[in-house]
Amino acid sequence: MSSERHSRQQIVRFGKMLHSRGYVAATDGNLSVRLDKRHILATPTAMSKGALRPSDMVIVDFEGRRVSGRHNVSSEIAMHLLIYKLRPDVNGVVHAHPPTATGFAAAGIALDQPLVCEVVIGLGSIPLAKYGTPGTPELCETLKPLISEYDAILMSNHGVVTYADTLEHAHMKMETVEHFAQIALVTHLLGRQQPLDDEALRKLLVARSKYEGSHSAAPLPLADCYGSANGGQSRSSRRLASPDSAKTRSHSR
């Protein structure tokens, strides 16, 4: 885990990047870093992510109580705490509203079709959580069944949350989600999709172990492109056995 000073600088850096790319507007979104077993460092409520200073962050315990900082804690801090509790491997969380991916979330469409090999290797698939009111236990309840399986989740009528071993990698996953959403949108506009078949997915699953960079302890289930090939299972329930399924997987080159 990073030092507190470095973590404050990282949150400022990636907050500015989210804002400059239009992934958040006004005071939307939030970022956090695990400091130790008892505390996280997080962005405060009601502040633009493009105008943060290192001193603006708040330190919160795992009960959601502010330990230090002059600003108030975000109402969505419970979502971050849930992710850290369920995923000991995670040290950074990013929540944002990238327009294209959030458009899919608002349309009730998961990004779970295997259309791009890099996304299959890096994220498996990106599920859609049911709607839960932001800042309430409802949101955590909708996310809870998915957090251990995936590293990126669309939240219906809300936005996207990504998480990883570092804040930098969590931000990269957010970029990947939005980039894939833009590609998926083009396929919808063209009126045709060409998903990878099961054999291609098996090869990509093996290839995960050869990629260096961001790591995950999650199984990252792959989407199934043809339900009839596995007895009619839905895309979101399909898994392919990995030769290193019990090991941490690599995500990016």
Residue 79's CATH number: 3.40.225.10
Q: Is residue 121 part of a domain?
A: yes
Q: Is residue 158 part of a domain?
A: yes
Q: Which of 178, 175, 187 is nearest to 115 (CA)?
A: 187
* Element at 102 (helix H, strand E): helix 99-107
Q: Which of 240, 217, 213 is nearest to 229 (CA)?
A: 240
State pLDDT tens for residues 75-95: 999 999 999 999 999 999 999
Which residues of the chain are under the pLDDT cut of 70?
Answer: 1-2, 212-215, 223-253
Task: Give the per-residue pLDDT at 6.
Answer: 97
Look up tokens 């492109």; give the residue.
Answer: 225
Structure tokens that stand for 132 in this block: 């839960």
User: In the 8-state DSSP scheme, what is residue 111?
Assistant: B
Task: Give the per-residue pLDDT at 219.
Answer: 84
Q: Is residue 201 part of a domain?
A: no
Q: Are 228 and 243 in contact (CB under 8 A)?
A: no
User: In the 8-state DSSP scheme, what is residue 43?
Assistant: P
Q: Is residue 248 part of a domain?
A: no
Phi first, then psi, for residue 187 (nearest 5°) are -65, -35
Q: Is residue 84 part of a domain?
A: yes
Q: Is residue 124 part of a domain?
A: yes
Distance CA 214, CA 201 (A): 20
Q: Which of 211, 200, 209 is nearest to 242 (CA)?
A: 209
Task: Give the per-residue pLDDT at 244.
Answer: 41
Q: Is residue 203 part of a domain?
A: no
Strand partners, 123: none
Give how many domains the chain has, as a whole number.
1
For residue 108, the enclosing domain spans: 4-190
Q: Is residue 22 part of a domain?
A: yes
